[in-house]
Amino acid sequence: MRYLYYPGCSAESTGMAYDISTRALMEKLGVELVELDDWNCCGATSYFSVRELDSFAIAARNLAIAQQQGDEDLCVICNACYTTLAKTNRYMADSPHVREQVQGALKAVGRRYDGTKPVRHIMDVLVNDVGLEAISEKVARRLTGIKVAPYYGCQYSRPIGSFDDTEDPQTMDRFFEALGADVLTDFPAKLKCCGGMMMLTNATGAVRLCHEILKSAEDLGADVIVAACPLCEMNLEGYQPNVNKAYGTHFHIPVMYFTQLAGLALGIDPKQLAIDKQVVSCAPVLAAIPA
Amino acid sequence: MAQEKIGVYVCHCGTNIAGKVDVEEVTRWAAEQPNVAVARNYKYMCSDPGQDLIKQDIKEHGITRAVVAACSPTMHEPTFRKAAADGGLNPYLLQMANIREHCSWVTVDGEAATAKAKRILGAQIHRLPLNEPLDPIEVPVNPNVMVVGGGIAGIEAALKLAQAGKKVYLVERDPSIGGHMAMFDKTFPTLDCAACILTPKMSAAGKEPHIEMLAYSEVTEVEGYVGNFKVKVRKKARYVDIDTCTGCGLCTEACVVRKVPNEFDRGLSKRAAAYIPFPQAVPLRATIDPTRCLTLTGKKCKQPCLTACGPGAIDFDQKDEEIEVEVGAIIVATGFELWDPTPEKRYSYGKLDNVLSSLEFERISNASGPTGGHILCKNGEPPKAVAILHCVGSRDENYQEFCSRVCCMYSLKFAHLIKEHLPECEVYECYIDMRTYGKGYEEFYKRLMNEDVHFIRGRAAEVTDVGLSPTEEGRLVVKVEDTLLGITRRLPVDMVILSSGLAPRSDAKETAQTFGFGCSANGFYLERHPKLEPVSTVTDGIFIAGCCQYPKDIPDTVAQAGAAAAGALALVDNPTVNVEPTISYIDPEKCSGCHICVGLCPHAAIQYNEEKGVAEVITAACKGCGVCVAACASGVPQQRGYLDEQIFAEIEGALAV
Amino acid sequence: MSDQFEPRLIGFLCRWCSYNGADLAGTSRMKYPPNLVPIKTNCSGRVDPTHIFKAFAEGADGVLIAGCHPGDCHYINGNYRTAGRFPLMKKMLEQLGLEPGRIRLEWVSAAEGDKFARVVTEFTEEVRALGPLGWNTRTPEEQADAGQASSDRVEEAVPA
C-alpha cells in the first residue's frame, strides 16, 4: 500500500507531532507514504473568502504535482488541507469557468492538471483501505478503559463528506473502538468549530468555542480528546489556560493527535510519536493504557 | 387522394410565441406549402374571434383540414377540435403544432425558433392530408365512485358524492378513518377543536347508506379506464368480525399484551394488541394486531379476549380477503407523512428527551392524548420554557426544498396553546420567514405577538444538552442566530418542538403507479395541470385531493375534496363517456395469424380467432398504445390517428425544411 | 449562428410522460438547442424501427425516443417493449454502418422538464460530434468503421 503524502505547512511547525506520529503509525501498518515533491501551502480555508480563484490555483498546483508524481491517491492529514484540496477538485469538475481559469494559471507555471486526482483523508485510508480488522490485529496495547472523546472538527466531513456522514461522522468512533478504547460515541461537541484561525483575530470568540468543546468532553468524563487537525489540536490543548481564565474553569485535559494515541495502541514508542511535544501532559493517559 | 384544402392558423399567444418566433414569416411560409389553402396568424387563437376564423374558413373557403400552430395540444386541442366540429369539420381533421412549449419558450435565438416552428408546423401540414375522420367511441359509465384514503379529504369527497346519491366505496388503510386531522388538538386560526368538527363528519360517513366503508383495506390493483375501473381491494384480517363486534373495548382491557406503541399517540402511549385506535374511531370496531398478538404470533396465550368478548366476535382464523369493485371514477386522497426529523441530527430528535415532533406535541396538548392534555415534559413537570423550531426538513436542499405551508401556522397555534395552559412559560418561535397567508392567519400571528411569545428570526442551528451556565445545566439549549439583532443566542428551554414539514407518503410512488399517474419532482402526486386542473390526473376518471397532491391546510384540503367530488360527479352522472378513437385495428385480409401481437398487448385487447386464423382487436379493451403496430412484422395492425403513413408524413414534413 | 454543423434530430415522445415533460421544460422556460423536432405518439412502444430508419432516410442525423420511466407506463408495460427493442435497433444501425450513438432512449417523466432539456442538449452535442449522417455518401469502409467503432457500446444501450 502506497500513497502520495501531503503533510501541509502546520506539519513543519505547530503540528509537527501530527506528521511525526503519522509517519510512525503508517510505517507500523506497512503503508508507504511518499512525500509530495515541492508542495506548497494549500491556501487553507480562509483564503477562499479573500481571493477565491487564487485559492483554487494554489491548491491545484499541489494536485498537479501529485498527478505528475504518481498514480497513487493523495493522502492528507489536516482537515483544512483535505477540504481545500477536495473542494478544488469538486469545483474544477462542476464549474467550467473555474476549471478554465485554474488550468490557465497552472499553465503559466508550466503545469497541467485535469481535476481528477483522488484526495484522501488519512482516516479514510485507515478505515477503508487498511481496514479496521487489520489494524485491530496489530494492536499491542488495547486502550481498554480509556475514555476517548473523538473530536472530528468542523471540516472533517463537511461539506464534502465523501467517506463519512456529513453531519454525523462515525469513522473515528469505529477506529478507536477497534483499538479497544471506551469511545464517547455521543460526544455532542465532536463537530463544533474550535475557532480555527480566529484565535489570532478574535480570541474571545475562539476561546468561547473551545470552552464549549472542553466542557462537553469533561462532562462526559473524557480521559483524552483526540483530534484530526493541527489547528484544532492546538486550540483545544494550548488555549486551555485562556479558557480557564475567561470562564473560571480548571480544564487540564490531555489532547492528542489521533495518530499518537493509535500509535501507542500499536506499541510504538511514545518518543517516536512525539508525545513529549504535547503541552498538556499525556502522562495520565500513558499510565492508564494497560500494558 | 383528392386535393385537400388546409387552413393554417399561427397563434401569437400575445408575445409568448410572437416575441420569439416570427409569426408573419411562418405564416408566409406556410401559405406556400402544398395543400395549404389559407394561412393566417392571430393574436390569440383560443379566443372566440380566433376560433371563429377556423369556423369561417370552413364555411367560406371550404377548408377540409386545419392545423393550429400554438400551444401544447394538452392545453387547447379540445378547444380547437370543438371549434372545427362546430364549423362542420370532423374534429380529428384538425392537428395542433406545438410552437410554444416546444419552441418559443425553450429557444434562445429568434431565427432558430422561427426555423424550428416551421419544422414543427411542416410535420403537421404534411400529415394532414392523410388524416381520417374519426368518431369518438362512446362507452357506458359505471355510476359508482371509489375514494381512497379516509382522512378529511376522503371523508369530505365521499360525503359529497353520497349526498348526490352516488354509491361510494371509501377505502382506508388504517382500522379507522379520520387521518391526521383526528390526531390534532385545535385547528388554526380559529382554534376549533379538531375532534369537534371532524367526528361528526366521520360518523356521518359511517352511517351514510351510500358509503360502503372498507376500513383496514388497501387497493392492490386498478384495471380499466374512464367510467369503467375494476379495482381490487385487500381487506386485511382484523381477526374480529366487524358485524358482530360492538366496539365495547372489553377485549382491549382483557388483552395481556399491553406495551405496543400506540401509533395514534405517535408512540407516546401504549396500547394492547387488541385495540381500538381512538375513542371516536369509525368504524368503532376492535382490531387485533397480528404482529403483536401472542396467539397470532404463535406464542402461548390464555386468550382472555375470547372470554371477555360477549358477542363472540373474535376470530383468530380470519384471513385477508380480496374483493373486486367496479367504479366509474376514483378519487385518491392518501394524504401525507410528517417529515421524520431524525436525519436532521443537529436537532437531536430521538436522542434527547423532550425534543418532540410536531405531531407528538399535538398528542401531548390533546385532551385525549397521553398526558390528558397537560403539557408536560417527560419527567412529568410542566416546561418553564419551550422553543418551537420552524422549517425542520423544509426549505432545505438537503431534505425537502419546498415550503410545507402549514408549519408556521401550526407553530403559532402551539405557542398559543402553551401560553393558554402555562401562562408563565416562555415560548420562543425560531423562524426563517413567517408565512401566514390564509384567511385570518396574519391576524392570528399578530395576536400571538401580543401574547408574549418571543419571535426570533433565524433557523435554529442546534439543540444540545451541554449546558455552559447554571441556567442551562440539565436543560436543553437551542442555539440560534437572531438575524434581526445580528447576534447568536443560546436559549435554555425544557422542551423543543420540531415543526417538521409534510412529506409525500413513503409509498407514494408505488401508489401513483397503481393508479396510473405520476409524481412531481418533490414526490407528491402530479396533477394534470397545476393551475386549471389541480385535482385531475393524466388518467381520465382518476382524481386527487388533499395533501397527497401537495401540503395544504384543512380549508384548502376540504375545498379540493369538493372539487374532486365535483369532477368525479361530472363524469359518473352521465350514462356514457366518449373515449379517444385512436385505437388499433387489424385487417383480417393481411394478418398471417402469427400471434406476436396477442402476447404483447398490455391490456389483453387482442385475441386470436381460431376459426379465421387471425388476430382481432377487442375495441372496448384497446387503449391505443400502439405496441401491436410497432411489433407486427407485416405492419398489419394499425392505430387510428397514428397510422404508420401518418407518422412517416410527419417525419418527412419535419425534415423537409 | 456560427458555421458549426447543426444536426437535425427527431424525437418520438410518448404522450403521457415525455411529451408533458417537454411541455414542462417550456412552461419553466428552460432553454435547449432547437435541433430536435418532437413527434407525439401515445406510447414509446408505438415507435417502430421503420420510423427510425424513415427519419434517417429523410435526412435526420439522430433520433431520440423518450417514454415513461419503468413502472410508470400509462399502458402498463409499453415502455418495456421499447426497452426490449432498443438494443436491437442499435445493432441494426451498426450493421447498416451507422453509429449506434445516433439513437438514444430516455425515460422522461411529466415532472422532468429539466431532464428533457438536458437530454436534448446532450444529444444535440453528441450527434454534432458524430457529424452529418451522410448515409448515401459513405463508402462501405466508412460504414464498417462507424459500426465497429461503436459496437462496444451496444451492450450498454438500455439506460437503467
Q: Please check the confidence at residue C159 and state whether its pLDDT lies above 50.
A: no
* Domain-embedded: residue A12: yes
* Domain-embedded: residue A157: yes
Residue ranges for chain A with pLDDT beneath 70:
none
Contact B466 A211 (CB under 8 A): no
Confidence tier at B77 by pLDDT (50, 70, 90)? very high
Residues A188, A62 share a domain = no
B106 touches chain C (CB under 8 A): yes
State the average pLDDT for chain B.
96
Burial class of residue B596, CB neighbours in 10 A (0-12, 13-18, 19+): middle
| C-alpha pair distances (Å), B307 with each of B253, B259, B303, B318, B472 | 12, 21, 7, 18, 54
CA–CA dist B461, B488 (Å, integer)? 10
Nearest to B648, CA basis, from B593, B435, A126, B656? B656
Q: Please check the confidence at residue C151 and state whether its pLDDT lies above 90.
A: no
Confidence tier at B604 by pLDDT (50, 70, 90)? confident
Report the percentage of chain B scoring pLDDT > 70. Answer: 100
* Domain-embedded: residue A133: no
CA A140 to chain centre: 24
* Residue among A167, A214, A247 with most chain B CBs within 10 A, to mutate: A167
- Residue whose entry in the numeric block shows the C-alpha cell 415522445: C13
Residues A163, A36 share a domain = no
C25 within 8 A of C32, measured Cβ to Cβ: yes
Q: According to the model, what pLDDT value does residue A48 have?
A: 83
Q: According to the model, what pLDDT value does residue A45 have?
A: 74
Mean pLDDT of the B133-140 span: 93
Q: Count up the domains in chain C and report the number.
A: 1
Contact A219 B468 (CB under 8 A): no
Longest dimension (CA), chain A: 57
Contact B464 A215 (CB under 8 A): no
Q: According to the model, what pLDDT value does residue B220 have?
A: 97
Name which of A167, A212, A215 is nearest B346 (Cβ-Cβ): A167
Question: What's C145's domain CATH number?
Answer: 3.40.50
Chains B and C lie in contact, requiring 3 or more CB pairs less than 8 Å apart: yes
Instruction: Give the 3-state secondary structure of B157-218.
Output: HHHHHHHCCCCEEEECCCCCCCCHHHHCCEECCCCEEHHHHHHHHHHHHHHCCCEEEECCEE
Give me the domain span that covers residue C44.
9-157
Contact C55 B655 (CB under 8 A): yes
Buried b (16+ CB within 10 A) or exposed e, A231-247: bbbbbbbbbbebbbeeb
Q: According to the model, what pLDDT value does residue B522 have?
A: 92
Residue in A with minimal Cα distance to B473: A219
Beta-bridge partner residues of B476 = B493
CA–CA dist B645, B653 (Å, integer)? 12
Count CB-CB contacts under 10 A for residue A114: 12
* Domain-embedded: residue A283: no
* Domain-embedded: residue C3: no
Give me the domain span that covers residue A194.
141-278
Confidence tier at C147 by pLDDT (50, 70, 90)? low
B213 within 8 A of B149, measured Cβ to Cβ: no
| C-alpha pair distances (Å), B37 with each of B55, B85, B126, B609 | 14, 19, 14, 46
Q: Please check the confidence at residue C138 and state whether its pLDDT lies above 70.
A: no
CA–CA dist B129, B93 (Å, integer)? 9
Count CB-CB contacts under 10 A for residue B598: 16
Q: Please check the confidence at residue B361 and state whether its pLDDT lies above 70.
A: yes
Name which of B346, B465, B466 is nearest A212 (Cβ-Cβ): B466
pLDDT tens for each residue of B81-90: 999 999 999 9
CA–CA dist B204, B202 (Å, integer)? 5
Residues A109, A6 share a domain = yes
CA–CA dist A135, A126 (Å, integer)? 8
For chain C, where are the alpha helices, taking DSSP H only? 18-27, 49-57, 78-95, 113-130, 140-149
Residues A173, A113 share a domain = no
Beta-bridge partner residues of B529 = B533
Q: Please check the confidence at residue B2 and state whether its pLDDT lies above 70.
A: no
Q: What is the ipTM of this complex?
A: 0.90
Which amino acid is located at B65 in the chain? Answer: R
pLDDT tens for each residue of B255-266: 999 999 999 999
- Higher per-residue pLDDT: B115 or A162: B115
Q: Please check the confidence at residue B68 and state whether its pLDDT lies above 80.
A: yes
pTM attached to this predicted model = 0.84
Residues A168, A97 share a domain = no
CA–CA dist B489, B469 (Å, integer)? 13
Confidence tier at C71 by pLDDT (50, 70, 90)? confident
* Domain-embedded: residue C1: no
* Domain-embedded: residue A130: no
Report the percentage of chain B scoring pLDDT > 90. Answer: 94
**Domains (ranges, CATH) in chain B?**
6-134 (3.40.50), 143-230+326-335+505-579 (3.50.50.60), 250-308 (no CATH), 338-502 (3.50.50.60), 580-640 (3.30.70.20)
Residues A163, A103 share a domain = no
Residues A267, A170 share a domain = yes
Q: Where are the beta strands (DSSP E) in A164-227?
A: 182-183, 224-227
Residues A264, A149 share a domain = yes
Length, in residues, of chain B: 657
Nearest to C106, CA basis, from C117, C93, C92? C117
Helix (H, G, I), strand (E, B) or coil at B651: helix
Beta-bridge partner residues of C72 = none
Q: Please check the confidence at residue C90 and state whether its pLDDT lies above 60.
A: yes
Contact A215 B468 (CB under 8 A): yes
Q: According to the model, what pLDDT value does residue B530 have?
A: 87
Residues A114, A59 share a domain = yes
CA–CA dist B44, B12 (Å, integer)? 6
- What's the DSSP call for residue B377? -
Nearest to C53, CA basis, from C133, C123, C150, C132? C133
- Contacts for C139-146: CB closer than 8 Å, 24+ residues apart: C140/C97, C142/C97, C143/C96, C143/C97, C143/C98, C144/C97, C146/C97, C146/C98, C146/C99
Q: What is the CA radius of gyration of chain B?
A: 31
- What's the DSSP call for residue A286? H
Residues A117, A72 share a domain = yes
* Domain-embedded: residue A56: yes
- Higher per-residue pLDDT: B466 or B325: B325
CA–CA dist A121, A84 (Å, integer)? 12
Contact A186 B351 (CB under 8 A): yes
B625 touches chain C (CB under 8 A): yes
B341 within 8 A of B499, measured Cβ to Cβ: no
Strand order, beta sheet including B321-327: B217-225, B228-235, B321-327
Q: According to the model, what pLDDT value does residue A1 have?
A: 92
Q: According to the model, what pLDDT value does residue B603 have?
A: 84
Nearest to C4, CA basis, from C132, C120, C98? C132
CB-based contacts of C160, cutoff 8 Å, min separation 6: none
Residues A151, A244 share a domain = yes
Name which of B345, B346, B466 is nearest A216 (Cβ-Cβ): B466
* Domain-embedded: residue C44: yes
* Domain-embedded: residue A26: yes
Domain boundary among A67, A88, A121: A121
CA–CA dist C134, B161 (Å, integer)? 62
Q: Please check the confidence at residue B115 and state whether its pLDDT lies above 70.
A: yes
Q: How far is A217 from chain B (nearest CA, A)?
A: 10
Calculate ∠ Cα B588-B581-B598, nearest 5°: 40
A249 within 8 A of A210, measured Cβ to Cβ: no
Q: How far is B429 from chain A (nearest CA, A)?
A: 24
Q: Which residues of B touch A188 (CB under 8 A)?
A: 464-466
Chains that touch C (3 or more CB pairs under 8 A): B
* Domain-embedded: residue C112: yes
Q: Count up the domains in chain A and report the number.
A: 2
pLDDT tens for each residue of B215-225: 999 999 998 88
Name which of A167, A168, A212 is nearest B468 (Cβ-Cβ): A212
Which of A217-221, B382-386, B421-425, C137-141 is predicted with the least confidence, judged by mean pLDDT? C137-141
Q: According to the model, what pLDDT value does residue C158 have?
A: 46
Confidence tier at C143 by pLDDT (50, 70, 90)? low
For chains B and C, count residue pairs whose Cβ atoms are closer than 8 Å.
149
Residues A97, A12 share a domain = yes
pLDDT tens for each residue of B388-417: 999 999 999 999 999 999 999 999 999 999
CB-based contacts of B368, cutoff 8 Å, min separation 6: B195, B278, B279
* Domain-embedded: residue A82: yes
Q: According to the model, what pLDDT value does residue B228 have?
A: 93
Domain boundary among A93, A121, A149: A121
